[in-house]
Amino acid sequence: MTTPDAEYPASNRLRDTALGERPQERLERFGAAALSDTELLAMLLRSGTRGLDVLTLASRLIASAGSLGGLIGWGPAEFRQQKGIGRVKALQLVTVMEIARRVLGQQRGEAPLLNRADLVASHLGPQACGLQVEKFWVLCLNRKNRLLKQVEITSGTATAALAHPREVFRAAIREAASAVICAHNHPSGDPAPSAPDVQVTRQLREAAKAVDIELLDHVIVGRAPADPQGRGYFSFREAGML
């Protein structure tokens, strides 16, 4: 008698699930909201692999990430480290996670009020979550400090994203902004400013005076667990550096 591989479950969760109670049937009958996180992910995966059914595979992915939301921060390499995830599935999952990140950043409703650094960090947090490179944004604001438009100025390397004041204020002028907030992320999660961050902030401050558009703040978005201050963001305005 052959002993099952210890790495694989002895049972097949999908096969053992009664007909009519499997994710696809439940989705058709009750809608997506009725499905668990594992079932939703299983629908994306579509199939498992030898010795590993799709429900078990989905469950293991969520367990490895800590939650379904934790998968947003994964890249192709992290997905491919999991048994049952090959190159194509990894790319498909990364694509879905990027769509989720962008949807979170484009939620409809009243234009957000961005008159404090913590509000800026909350607004950009879903978009910055899991990014492996630095991105630099300019938030164009109206007279009431509500967002007119968010413009991505640069997307850099794993360690730097340079932003020229000309590009920042070109976007602000195009949107007829009364004020701007500049922001970028630190992939490491630690939002402490680097020497280049301080330098570009000085340049932005001088450029703002020249074009008569107020620079309200420059906010660096990180993650609270990686921030010695526990906040997950750094504000040049709050630090008295602007």
**pLDDT at 26 (0 to 100):** 82
Q: Using 50 as the pLDDT threshold, list the residues of the chain that sit under it.
A: 1-9
**pLDDT at 2 (0 to 100):** 41
**pLDDT at 110 (0 to 100):** 67
Same domain flag for 97 and 34: yes
- What is the per-residue pLDDT across 135-176, written as a single tens digit (0 to 9) for each? 999 999 999 999 999 999 998 766 666 788 999 999 999 999
| CATH code for the domain in which residue 205 is found | 3.40.140.10
- What is the per-residue pLDDT across 51-80, written as a single tens digit (0 to 9) for each? 788 888 898 998 998 888 888 878 888 899
Residue 240, domain member (yes or no): no
| CATH code for the domain in which residue 42 is found | 1.10.150
Same domain flag for 175 and 114: yes
Of 72, 104, 136, the residue at which a domain comes to its end is: 104
Residue 3, domain member (yes or no): no
**pLDDT at 108 (0 to 100):** 55
Same domain flag for 91 and 117: no
Of 78, 104, 130, the residue at which a domain comes to its end is: 104
Same domain flag for 20 and 127: no
Residue 1, domain member (yes or no): no
Same domain flag for 39 and 139: no
Same domain flag for 191 and 75: no
CA distance 51 to 59: 14
Of 43, 71, 104, the residue at which a domain comes to its end is: 104
Domain range for 33: 13-104
Same domain flag for 60 and 137: no
**pLDDT at 120 (0 to 100):** 96
In total, how many domains does the chain have? 2
DSSP string, the chain: -PPPPTTS-SS-HHHHSPTTSSHHHHHHHH-GGGS-HHHHHHHHH---BTTB-HHHHHHHHHHHHSSTGGGGG--HHHHHTSTT--HHHHHHHHHHHHHHHHHHHT--SSPPB--SHHHHHHHHHHHHTT-SS-EEEEEEE-TTSBEEEEEEEEE--SS-----HHHHHHHHHHTT-SEEEEEEE-TTS--PPPHHHHHHHHHHHHHHHHHT-EEEEEEEE--GGG-TTSSSEEETTTTT--
Same domain flag for 173 and 132: yes
Same domain flag for 192 and 217: yes
Residue 131, domain member (yes or no): yes
Is this structure's pTM higher than 0.75?
no
Residue 71, domain member (yes or no): yes
Same domain flag for 127 and 89: no
Same domain flag for 39 and 147: no
Same domain flag for 138 and 97: no
**pLDDT at 6 (0 to 100):** 44
Residue 92, domain member (yes or no): yes
